Amino acid sequence: MIMNKSLHKIPVGISACLLGHEVRYDGGHKSNDYIRKTLGEYFDFIPFCPEAESGMGVPRPSVQLRRTDKGVRCVGVKDHDIDVTEQLNDWSGQQAHRLHGLSGYILKKDSPSCGMERVRIYHNDRAERVGVGLFAHYLKDNFPLLPLEEEGRLGDPRLRENFIQRVYVLQRWQRLMGDTLTPSRLTQFHSRHKLILMSRDQNQARELGRLAASADKATMIPVTERYGLALMQTLKKIATRGNHVNVLQHIQGYLKKNLDADDKAELTETLERYRLGLIPLIVPITLLKHHFRKQPDPFIEQSFYLSPYPEELTVLNEI
């Protein structure tokens, strides 16, 4: 399966400052080269800045999350009487039309509006890293399928791979939802993503398979809704090396009758070296793709596991 770089870019929301937009409280930005230059080749970034767009201005007084007798509020760092909580929440509620159709979102870490996790919440003179930015909270509550990630966490190869994987799967799910839904299309979608799901959670992959197979004309809509939620929840789990080995061995089984003794030994040794952490995932995947080019299999050819996204992203080289 060849991933075509010329396909339309995937729409992904992003904190505007990460693209170099000078929208931060001090008039600066937090431009991220990896996001702009690498992911930008494949993602069509839609910029958002809750603080600037809600009317707080640039530059503006910096704000923080603070625990008060009215609950957690977003207030001025120097002047706690400045309370922009409702202003930000009202703006968030007006963004649904811009957010529908996005296949992912990259948030600015530590931001009282955009931070996805571990945002500081202040109380008196103490701060606890237990908060979620107000806009990020809105995204989580209202767009449960949407893959969210912070730019800082994208530096971790496994988290980066997980996010990119989820973006591509959600885009394919959205395309399926845009077509006429039928039980056979749902089961085919599951079949093509089964190995990816197995790399996350084998038990959940089986549950999703049973759920997809249970759909009929009368239950198509509720089953599809349940499947979509469970699909994206499962994909949040980070694929382990052990699960990848199980999937790779499963794929190897489709070649057993067609490989000679030397090829079998080479493939088995490559999987073992990956299991031991001596080589990255791209090595056994490349070897398997080589064999399947010579000996195609219809199930493996349709599966997205060996080619989940464009090779140029080189994500599999680091996990």
pLDDT band at 312 (very low <50, low <70, confident <90, very high): confident
Whether the per-residue pLDDT at 100 is higher than 90: the answer is yes
pLDDT per position as a tens digit, 116-157: 999 999 998 899 999 999 999 999 999 999 999 999 999 999
Q: What is the pLDDT of residue 178?
A: 93
pLDDT, position 3: 45
Instruction: Report percent pLDDT > 70 for the chain.
Output: 98
Give whole-number Cα distances, 172 to 35, 101, 103, 167, 271, in Å: 22, 12, 9, 9, 29
Mean pLDDT score, 290-296: 94
Helices and strands (H and E) in the chain: how many: 13, 8
7: confidence class by pLDDT, cuts 50, 70, 90: low
Average pLDDT estimate for 50-65: 97
Percent of the chain past pLDDT 90, that is, above it, reads 92
237 forms bridges with which residues in the sheet? Answer: none
Q: How confident is the model at residue 247 (pLDDT cuts 50, 70, 90)?
A: very high
Show Cβ contacts of residue 228 under 8 Å, excluding neighbours closer than 6 positions. 145, 173, 177
Mean pLDDT of 70-88: 97
Q: What would the mean pLDDT of 218-243 be, rounded to a whole number?
A: 97
Q: Tell me the C-alpha distance between 154 and 22, whole Å.
A: 22
* C-alpha to C-alpha distance for 251 and 285, rounded to whole angstroms: 10
Lookup: tokens for 139: 């995204």
pLDDT at 290 over 70: yes
